[in-house]
Amino acid sequence: MIRANENYNKLKASYLFSDIAKRVEAFQNNHPDRPVIRLGIGDVTHALPKAVIRGFQTGVDEMARDATFRGYGPEQGYAFLREKIAAHDFQARGAEVSADEIFVSDGAKCDSGNFQELFADDIRIAIPDPVYPVYLDTNVMAGRTGEFKDGRYESVVYMDCLKENGFLPELPEQEVDLIYLCFPNNPTGSTATKAELEKWVEYARENKALILFDAAYESFIRDESLPRSIYEIKGAREVAVEFRSFSKTAGFTGTRCGFTVVPKECMIFSGSGEKISLHAMWNRRQSTKFNGVSYPVQKAAEAVYSKEGQAEVKKLIDAYMENADIVRRTMNTLGFDTVGGENSPYIWVDGQGRDSWDFFDLLLNKASVVCTPGGGFGKCGNPYIRISAFNSLENVTTAMERVKEALR
């Protein structure tokens, strides 16, 4: 008989954002006269930049003519896009990354979830708490986490991110094999300095560990002293893989395009300790399981790096960061401690002892505003909520006025 992967039974009942959607739907059904403003899920709301649309249209037009039509493209991505990424996102900042180390994909979520396929079932993983749920859930599905007891999986090394440590994960006291880091962090909005990342790179090198570094929100960093890429750190090419996305940067949440960097120096090990090229493994995995991102989408992504595209993307990011500033200042004025909102589009709000789902329900029912309960990101997230800056200025301003009335 066909049997199930019973590791799926270890997952919590449903995905965080599915729970939120159900609660919001129930509220709307009961209160159809009260329009809801969504500041929960990190989905962009502004249209794609004009330069991106023109790039898209160019790709579509080429697909409409036999002379320029393209069928299967390279699974790793077209060279025209990979070269732009390497030059603009890395080399321009002094980070050594070549075009053939970049793998274009349909998003950082897919890549960060799929990458764990390359590793042995019994590796020891370290994951921040709170953090983006995909890192943990995909390892649960793979059978690496043990049973779920008292709010945590018994075989996972959790790195608590608390107010006391500036919401930054600390080096594990025991040896681990795989480390997940996310900066600017989702959900807390915290950022890491070069000195802080240097500690992680050194730890990984000493322990023959690997860092999976999620930099999906790097374009929101305003402080020029902060690193945008882990490859700005000496030695990181030997021990780190980096995920990035065009979703929040240029509005590609519905268009789907991102990329992963796997340096050629990055090695993992066989059971007998022999070095194995991670670059070669990921290339093999992608060539077998992925047919590449569509040509028009890659032309659209290429347009992000044009002069006009860069100006338009900056305008988008500036608009979201203006929203973030409004949210942060409003919650501070109401007496709530916050993190994020200065180098991140997320604002992490201390609920002053409230359960995070109770705080979520309070804002939904009294203000018709949707946030994200911090408890959905891990045990340490429970006293907090995450408010997203991804909406229009008008909606964010209205939402904060409602929140003021609800919390006074």
Please, what CATH class does the domain formed by 6-47+308-407 belong to? alpha beta
Q: What is the pLDDT of residue 365?
A: 96
Average pLDDT over residues 78-104: 98
CB 239 within 8 A of CB 268: no
Distance CA 65, CA 70 (A): 9
β-bridge pairing 152-153 and 338-340: unpaired
Q: Which fold has domain 53-305?
A: Aspartate Aminotransferase; domain 2 (3.40.640)
Indicate the domain borders of the chain: 6-47+308-407, 53-305
Work out the percent of the chain whose per-residue pLDDT is above 90. 96
Interval 280-317: pLDDT, tens: 999 999 999 999 999 999 999 999 999 999 999 999 99
Average pLDDT over residues 140-154: 94
- Mutual angle of helices 50-63 and 295-303, in 10-degree steps: 150
CB 230 within 8 A of CB 184: no
Average pLDDT over residues 53-69: 98
Examine the pLDDT at 18 and tell me if it is beyond 90: no
Distance CA 191, CA 341 (A): 11
Q: What is the pLDDT of residue 151?
A: 87
Examine the pLDDT at 209 and tell me if it is beyond 90: yes
The reported pTM is 0.96
Average pLDDT over residues 156-167: 97
Q: What is the pLDDT of residue 14?
A: 65
Average pLDDT over residues 152-169: 97
Distance CA 269, CA 209 (A): 10
13 falls in which pLDDT band (50, 70, 90)? low
The per-residue pLDDT of the chain, averaged, comes to 96
Q: What is the pLDDT of residue 357?
A: 94
Cα 355 versus chain centre, distance: 25
- Mutual angle of helices 393-407 and 356-367, in 10-degree steps: 110
Q: What is the pLDDT of residue 41?
A: 82
